[in-house]
Every structure is written in C-alpha cells, then in structure tokens.
Structure 1
Amino acid sequence: MGLRLLGTPSKDGGCPSLYEIEETGEIVAQGERLADPDHLAQLRDVKESEGFVVLPRELLVRFAPREAHVPDLIPFEEASHLFSEFEHTAWRLETQRGYASDQEIPEWQRFLRGDYVGCFDPTSPWDANIRRQTNEGKRFERVRIVDDPPTQGQLFLLASGLGNVEAGEDIRNLYRADARRLRLPDYDFWLFDSRVIMKFDFDDEGTCLGVRLIEDPTEVLGACQVRDLAWHHAVPTTRFQEQVRSRG
C-alpha cells in the first residue's frame, strides 16, 4: 500500500509527521514514544499490539485532514483553462520517472536518434501561452525530480525543457535523493495563485488518468510549503544539465 506524507513541521527531515495510507485513507502518525509512566498508567483499554506517540498540536492543526471528501477525478482538458486564467503564478512539481504523453510526440523519436534539443516553438500552443502569460508579468515555474542516473524520460525532459525556458518558464531540478531527504511529496501537482491545486493521477505506465482540483485551505497551505522548500533547493535547468553531464 502507498504511504503519502501529509506534512511535518520539522525543518531537518525528522519527526513528527503525519501520513495517509492512500488505499484506505487511514492516518499514520510518527512521533516520540510516550514514555511518562504516569501518563501510560492513565490510558484505557490498551491492546497489546498498540503503541502511543506524542504529537505537537501544531502538527494536527496544520496537516490533519479536515474533510473526508475527495474531489472528483476529471479529464485534464476540463481544467486546462487554469493555465490561461491564473493571475500571478503557476507552479508545478514533477515526480514521475517518465510520462507516456512524451513518447507520443515526434520529438521523442528525434531524441532517441540523438538529434533533438528543445527550443521555443511559436506554433506550439503550450509555448505560445507561456510566452503570452510571462509577457504579462505572470510566472510559470516548475521543479522536476530527477533520478541518479536520470531515466530516459527524464533525459528527454532535460532536453525539451530548454524550449520551455526559452518561452519564459523557469524550470529547476532536484535529485530524488534530495527530494526524499526534504520529504517532498511523491505526486505531481500544479499550484495556481497559491489558491488552487491541480493534482494528477497517473497509472504505472505514466499515463495521466485525470486531475483533481483542490481548494481546501489546509492542503493549499501544504502545497505552498512544498513549493517554497523545493524551489529553495532546486537547481536551474542549464546548471543541472552540466551536473548530469559531469556525472555521466
């Protein structure tokens, strides 16, 4: 079963933390064991298999789920209007090792032949929208999580990302080991105007099954914290490419 980090107030990667078991929605708490004998003596109906941890109130206030409702999964196309309607910032966390959609475009075959370097394409609706939005003073930003060594899909994104950067998007990269140390989430999402989350669902082949739009203030706050942490540690694309080549 998958375990998703809901949040932690720790700045050094330690406990306490809250997790969600994705298949059941049940919550797992990580914290220091309750050791005070007076407190232990006051616990009631304790089973032999049970344990107890001490959690700061801040952890529950900030990260405990507020509602059982899960937003409906909708086609990506039904939410694509957000990319032109946002007012200030669009920020993305990418965590997958590859995306099926990348392998369906002509650039993928050129990449496999070794003759593809991304560049701004004014005929591309995506590139044109980035250029238009950034010319209006808005920000398109993205952090990509990369394995070491990078997967084939991640190498393609490093190459194609140069075109996004030329269009006006600021793309940075972070090795997966660093992302785990920072306890970043392992799912993809866009964050629009620090107000709306577009969370992706992917299958095991990297095919997008749809997205969920989330406006719950607690989850949005958590996404903002992820953004600030990832952005602080991530490396701009051109410098990261040099790091990859030096390791290769």
Structure 2
Amino acid sequence: MLLDGEAWAARFRDFEREAWRLETLPAYNVPQEAEEIRAFKAGERIDPRTHSNSYTEDLRRVRREGKSKGRVHIVTRPLSDYLLYEFMYYEAHAMAGEEIRIMDVTGRSNPLVGVPDFWMFDKREVVLMNYQADGTQISREVYGGDPAEFVEYQRTALTESVPFEEYVKGLA
C-alpha cells in the first residue's frame, strides 16, 4: 500500500510510543528545500535556539505526550553540502526533542549496507521510503512483512551510531 496525504500524516499523529527513521543517503532532492539550500550555501544560517516551525512544534507535542521521535543518519566523510545543511536543522530538531544519531561509516564497513530508508512506528509498522539515485522520492510504501528485521536494523543503527551533538563536536 502506498502512502500519501492524510494517511501519511496520520502515522505521525497517531503513533503510540515511537516514530523512528533510518536515513541512508548523502542527499535528498526535496524541491521545497531548494531555496533554503541556496541560502545555506551563500552563508545564511538559522539560530537553532530560536528556530521554530511546524516540525519543531510537532516534536514538542510528541515529547509532551510522552512519546519519542528519532533517527539515525548513515554518513561518510567528506559530508555533502546537503548533510551540512541538514545538520543545521538537526541541531534545532534535537533541541526540540528529536533523538538524532549519526552512524559515520567512513573507513569502516557499513553493517546496514543495502538496507533501505524507512520509518518505523511503534516497532509494528514499517514504511519504506523509496528514492531515485539522486535522492528524489519515488514513493512511501507500507511494508507487508514481519517488522522484526527492521527492529534489528534499528538496534544495529543505534548501537553503531553516536548522538548528533557528540558527532558534530568532533567536526569542529
């Protein structure tokens, strides 16, 4: 089953305990971000301490409700311009309550090679995030099989990664 619109939004509104994402690409081609990326490349930055938008407000709601939202992004250095841009927002998102971790596989084997991007809700439902090679999203598809392998991917990603805040300190 492909997900879009209200059915997709409902996943983030209605999960009971945890929404969790694995990101594997060095860049995502999101047309709505194009202007922000141009501004970032030109030197403009947000202040993560004061940045607020619908995403950060939703993260605060999730926390108030006693739920968690998190992700692990698999990266290699040098980091792409897109990742540097995304990290600027990750800082604001972490401050708003998202549990963000980075799994840097530079110079080592990637234990999750070949695993697709996905969202997992309450360790019960997996939504595969399908992309073209350039990071353009093709579709979001509910995975019909047993989510146990994705729970294991999450466990591996969490074990093999470090908190975002720790990772970026090492970049300075």
Question: TM-score, normalising length from structure 2?
Answer: 0.88
Please tell me whether the aligned partners of residues 107 and 116 of structure 1 are also in contact (alpha carbons under 8 angstroms). no
CA distance, structure 1, for counterparts of residue 47 and residue 37 of structure 2: 11
**C-alpha RMSD over aligned residues:** 2.2
Q: Deviations over 1:220-246 (max 9, x none)?
A: 10000011111112111121112223x
Q: Deviations over 1:106-162 (max 9, x none)?
A: 43233112231452544x222111110111110111100111111111111111101
| Residue number among 150, 159, 167 corresponding to 1:223 in the alignment | 150
* Unaligned runs of at least 5 residues, structure 1: 1-71
| Residue number among 15, 22, 26 corresponding to 1:97 in the alignment | 26
**C-alpha displacement at 1:75, in angstroms?**
3.2
CA distance, structure 2, for counterparts of residue 179 and residue 201 of structure 1: 25
Structure label with greater radius of gyration: 1
1:23-172 matched pairs, under 5 angstroms: 72-75=1-4, 78-101=7-30, 104-117=33-46, 119=48, 121-122=51-52, 124-172=53-101
Change in 2 beyond 3 A, CA 1:125/1:103: closer
1:204 and 2:133 aligned: yes
**C-alpha displacement at 1:210, in angstroms?**
1.3
* Unaligned runs of at least 5 residues, structure 2: none
Aligned to 2:103: 174
Change in 2 beyond 3 A, CA 1:89/1:147: same
Matched letter for residue 88 of structure 2: A
Identity value in percent:
26
Matched letter for residue 154 of structure 2: R
Change in 2 beyond 3 A, CA 1:102/1:77: farther
CA distance, structure 2, for counterparts of residue 147 and residue 195 of structure 1: 30
Give the number of equivalent residue pairs: 171
CA distance, structure 1, for counterparts of residue 107 and residue 16 of structure 2: 31
Change in 2 beyond 3 A, CA 1:179/1:224: farther
CA distance, structure 1, for counterparts of residue 111 and residue 88 of structure 2: 26
